[in-house]
Structure 1
Amino acid sequence: MAAPRILVVDDEADLRELLEITLLKMGLDVDSAATLRQARALLDEHDYALVLTDMRLPDGLGLELVREVSAAGTGTPIAVITAYGSAENAVVALKAGAFDYISKPVALDALRVMVRSALKLLEAPPAPAGGAAPGSRMIGSSPAMAALRAQIGRLARSNAPISITGESGSGKELAAREIHALSSRASKPFVAVNCGAIPETLMEAEFFGYRKGAFTGAAEERDGFFQAANGGTLMLDEVADLPLPMQVKLLRAIQERRVRKIGATAEEPVDVRIISATHQDLARCVEQGRFRQDLFYRLNVIELALPPLRERLDDLPVLAATILARLAGPDQAALGPGVLEALRAYSFPGNIRELENVLERALAFANDGVIEVGDLSLKAARPVEGGGGGVQSAAATLPPSLTQPAPVPAQVQDTGQPPAALSAQLAGAAQLGPTGLPSNLPEYLNQVEREIIGRALQQTQFNRTQAAALLGISVRQLRYQIQKLEICAPDDHA
């Protein structure tokens, strides 16, 4: 089998010779060109596993070659050589479709790592239809998901930093894992870091590691996130929460691809692809001075926007089936009549994460594993539209028969009043403070719920099955609420 062929494009004869010798020692065939014209002629004659070009050439810019190779659709990765400190040029090249970049003076170990990473693209099996990786959790066949998977398939063939944006719960980490699984780095680690969960005083140690004795408590040497993800992918989740001092250190690590442990005197190289994610508007954070502009441009080379669940409602059946299979096992749970319609009518501000929570809660209340509409409890969670952002009142979500005090049924009157404990609960419900607002909101809401359930029980002569139907919930859910709220009532007659 013929060795992979590499094309080197650089007008500096000494550097071109150094690159040729290094690549030949790696067992590769090498062609070289000093101008754009020569490079284009060679590209017409041969197929290359990698093109490596300088940014400045006698008859034009290497950026032109990047765009031409990317537009050709052959899938040939192209990397650029940039001058030291020219981070802007590297970002422009990556946005134009470059696979990766390397800075002058060229570090041969970094060059070898980049070349091996590019060659792995040739060994990787083609992505399945739609770009979904085996075992992928990015499921769905809606147009939005098909377009997203196609974009992920293209991004997986690059080493460029990616910024994933989307609402909370829309699956940003799943998308990052999908990119990693389809990339040439799939066999290397994927490390996800929640930037908002790390104390500021520990950030440098967590990201870059430390040497033994570097500070009090450093009993042994420890690697950081960059070393742990070496060769693979490092995901910076909620990157907007990074404090400004840490942003400076992170920018240098990304640009130089080298990190220094706390207590060390020398930097060590790392080969990490950065994927950042946030639900915040990073551009607005830059305007407000909370996020460095240079780091923003470095991370936001390619932006991947995830659609919210309300824009891909066609995927609800397969999403619900997959979630239920994971929660209860195959053939152990099902959706009853009207459940999918109720889910489609809901806005899901928490997206897929909220859908998982809704189904998990509903499954706990379901009878024989069949989820009914009443088990979903969506009405209390639905946000109010046009209400100025206020909280919807409890009465607005109740059946009309329960919004006004109900008379005690005749049969109950004949046999006496409701149980004394229940009467006391109803009498003390919904007490407000002197300001007209509850002094203890959770307890106030519990009292309101006690009163509503108590009215339903009285209206149905304490038949829990009928009371549950009146409230639009399952009997199991009603029993759970009675126990939770410590409502004293006779056993149901069902």
Structure 2
Amino acid sequence: MRVLLADDEITIAVTLTDALEEAGFEVTCAGDTDQALAALENEEIALVLTDIRMPGAGGMAVLERSMELDAQRPVIIMTGFAAMADASRAVDMGARFYLQKPFRNESMVALVETYARLRSLEVENSALRERLEGAEGFDEIIGESPAIRAVFGRVRTIAPSDATVLIQGESGTGKERFARAVHASSARAAEPFVAISCAALPESLLEAELFGFEKGAFTDARKERRGRFELADGGTFFLDDIDDMPLSTQVKLLRVLQERQVERLGAEGSRSLDLRFLAATKVPLRELVREGRFREDLFYRINVVPVELPPLRERVGDVPLLVRFMIERHGGGRRYELSTGTMRALERYPWPGNVRELENAVQRAIALCASGSELSLDDMLPQDPRWRGATLVTDEVQPLRERLREVEVEHIGRALEKTGGHRTQAADLLGISRKVLWEKMRDFGISAPGEDASEGTASKDTASNDAGTSEA
């Protein structure tokens, strides 16, 4: 497998080339941007290592051209401290990872090996992919929509490797089922699959469950206990709802992922682990990183292979297929039918709870179907009794008049704030007369900056009279 190493620093080019070749890779070196771009055009490059700053347009141009030629080809960024902002931007553009200089060659080689295994999956595991491609999905996961087929294809590609996977999807989209599908299609399928949800336990119990503890580590620790990480040794560990993990626990998780070692609570030493790590989140972790609620270094450590699960409302055409599958699963051998109108209503419904909500609806309809074989829409979806065929809207939808009033109040207040309470200027910005502005301020109870409502009313009364006189 050939690696492109683009860096104008001779020391890095020589020593890193030697380390990569010793690890079994073929290396093409480029000392400037033009040489790197030429190598991308003319050679079969499987993976790119590029410095951000080097002669020519620089590493961003190398990244951009590599993505244009092969969007799946891994690109790893090397950067100095002064270029960290560019490195973060490169990751947003599609780079898989970045390392800050100086770094140990062993760390870079290990990173290259991880992404190289991903790159070689198609050749190394063709027999497994052929077996999976014949199916419409995985165990208990089906669908024919383009959105879900794309996920199936990604899972088939990544399953045979040991790469860390981050699954993102709304609640009820089936994140754990897809994690199990990854495990079942991997070389670790015969080994344990251990799952735990960060949302299910308080912080103190979560750490004890994850890391285990020694006898006497805390008051109730009457005997030693292996944690979930140890239980998953040799197999796959799935951490659900990682977005709910406390920051203090994130630090300890980062060490486990970096060192592949775990230390029980109250222990004096660490234990080595051999496992594959999968995680799931119901909210975008990048947003939590920006808000300071999730560690950036941990995010980059787990976001090796992202898999985004589409909500059910985006899986066009999958609802009838899923309904039939769930009837077979929960019907106890009985045949159940749905009218055309009922099926159309199910397809129109937005399913905020996704596949889980749909499955609950099918189970409820089967349980309430005392006789006959036709499942009732009334049993599957909450109905609004005021209109025929209307489902109950559970989310709050404000009346239009109220919502428009809120927007108008906010916009007028912003104009007054920007003008320092100058009503004539604010009215001009809003495209209304000074008299109309005063009327709205009176009706909505809006005060200009620096005055309370009573002061504003008195001054505005005078302003209104003045405005009426001048306009007359």
Q: Which amino acid aligns with 1:41?
A: A
The yes-or-no answer on 1:70 pairing with 2:67 is: yes
The yes-or-no answer on 1:276 pairing with 2:280 is: yes
**What is the Cα deviation at residue 106 of structure 1?**
3.1
Residue 328 of structure 2 is matched in structure 1 by 325
Give the one of 361, 364, 384 matched to 2:364: 361
Q: Which amino acid aligns with 1:371?
A: E
**What is the Cα deviation at residue 342 of structure 1?**
4.5
Residue 143 of structure 2 is matched in structure 1 by 140
Distance 2:34 2:277 in 1: 32
Which moved further from structure 2: 198-207 or 172-181? 172-181
The yes-or-no answer on 1:123 pairing with 2:124 is: yes
Structure 1 vs Structure 2: percent identity of aligned residues? 33
Residue 393 of structure 2 is matched in structure 1 by 385
The yes-or-no answer on 1:316 pairing with 2:313 is: no
Residues 365, 64 of structure 1: alpha-carbon distance in 2 compared, 3 angstrom cutoff: same
Secondary structure of the structure 2 residue equivalent to 1:363? helix
Secondary structure of the structure 1 residue equivalent to 2:105? coil
Whether contact under 8 Å (2:289, 2:296) holds in the other structure is: no
Distance 2:261 2:193 in 1: 18
Residue 10 of structure 1 is matched in structure 2 by 7
Whether contact under 8 Å (1:131, 1:153) holds in the other structure is: no
**What is the Cα deviation at residue 274 of structure 1?**
5.3
**What is the Cα deviation at residue 7 of structure 1?**
3.0
**What is the Cα deviation at residue 358 of structure 1?**
1.9
Residues 218, 238 of structure 1: alpha-carbon distance in 2 compared, 3 angstrom cutoff: same
Distance 2:85 2:215 in 1: 37
Residue 242 of structure 1 is matched in structure 2 by 245
Give the one of 221, 226, 230 matched to 1:222: 226
**What are the equivalent positions in structure 2 for 1:14-413 lying under 5 Å apart?**
14-73=11-70, 75-81=72-78, 91-101=88-98, 104-107=103-106, 110-111=110-111, 113-114=113-114, 117-121=117-121, 122-125=123-126, 135=138, 137-142=140-145, 144-145=147-148, 162=166, 164-166=168-170, 168-176=171-179, 192-209=195-212, 217=221, 219-220=223-224, 222=226, 224-225=228-229, 235-250=238-253, 256=258, 260-262=262-264, 263-264=267-268, 275-278=279-282, 291-292=293-294, 294=296, 298=300, 306-312=309-315, 314-328=317-331, 332-338=334-340, 339-344=342-347, 346-366=349-369, 370-373=373-376, 376-379=379-382, 384-385=392-393
TM-score between both structures, scaled by the size of structure 2:
0.61
Whether contact under 8 Å (2:7, 2:51) holds in the other structure is: yes
The count of corresponding residues between Structure 1 and Structure 2 is: 381
Whether contact under 8 Å (1:49, 1:76) holds in the other structure is: yes
Distance 2:99 2:187 in 1: 18
Q: Which amino acid aligns with 1:334?
A: Y
Whether contact under 8 Å (1:230, 1:270) holds in the other structure is: yes
**What is the Cα deviation at residue 343 of structure 1?**
2.8
Distance 1:83 1:154 in 2: 33
Specify every segment of 5 or more residues in structure 1 that has no aligned partner in the other structure, as ranges.
391-494
Distance 2:186 2:6 in 1: 26
Secondary structure of the structure 2 residue equivalent to 1:333? coil
Specify every segment of 5 or more residues in structure 2 that has no aligned partner in the other structure, as ranges.
385-389, 399-472
Residues 89, 324 of structure 1: alpha-carbon distance in 2 compared, 3 angstrom cutoff: farther
Whether contact under 8 Å (2:207, 2:249) holds in the other structure is: yes
Distance 1:106 1:266 in 2: 25
Distance 1:323 1:349 in 2: 18
Whether contact under 8 Å (1:131, 1:149) holds in the other structure is: no
Whether contact under 8 Å (1:50, 1:118) holds in the other structure is: no
Distance 2:233 2:55 in 1: 37
More helix by share: 2
User: Can you list the C-alpha shifts for 1:324-364, whole angstroms capped at 9, x where unaligned?
Assistant: 222347x7433143442453454534221121122123223
Whether contact under 8 Å (2:145, 2:317) holds in the other structure is: yes
Residues 379, 46 of structure 1: alpha-carbon distance in 2 compared, 3 angstrom cutoff: closer
Residues 60, 346 of structure 1: alpha-carbon distance in 2 compared, 3 angstrom cutoff: closer
Distance 1:351 1:304 in 2: 17
Residues 332, 346 of structure 1: alpha-carbon distance in 2 compared, 3 angstrom cutoff: same
Residue 472 of structure 1 is matched in structure 2 by none
Distance 2:61 2:353 in 1: 43
Whether contact under 8 Å (2:166, 2:305) holds in the other structure is: yes
Q: Which amino acid aligns with 1:333?
A: R
**What is the Cα deviation at residue 100 of structure 1?**
4.5
Residues 258, 379 of structure 1: alpha-carbon distance in 2 compared, 3 angstrom cutoff: closer
Secondary structure of the structure 1 residue equivalent to 2:49? strand
Distance 2:148 2:85 in 1: 32
TM-score between both structures, scaled by the size of structure 1:
0.59
User: Can you list the C-alpha shifts for 1:135-174, whole angstroms capped at 9, x where unaligned?
Assistant: 26543334554566677789889968646142x3233334
Distance 2:286 2:24 in 1: 45
Residues 292, 85 of structure 1: alpha-carbon distance in 2 compared, 3 angstrom cutoff: farther
User: Can you list the C-alpha shifts for 1:63-104, whole angstroms capped at 9, x where unaligned?
Assistant: 432332222027433334456999866654443333445561
Distance 2:320 2:350 in 1: 16
User: Can you list the C-alpha shifts for 1:414-455, whole angstroms capped at 9, x where unaligned?
Assistant: xxxxxxxxxxxxxxxxxxxxxxxxxxxxxxxxxxxxxxxxxx
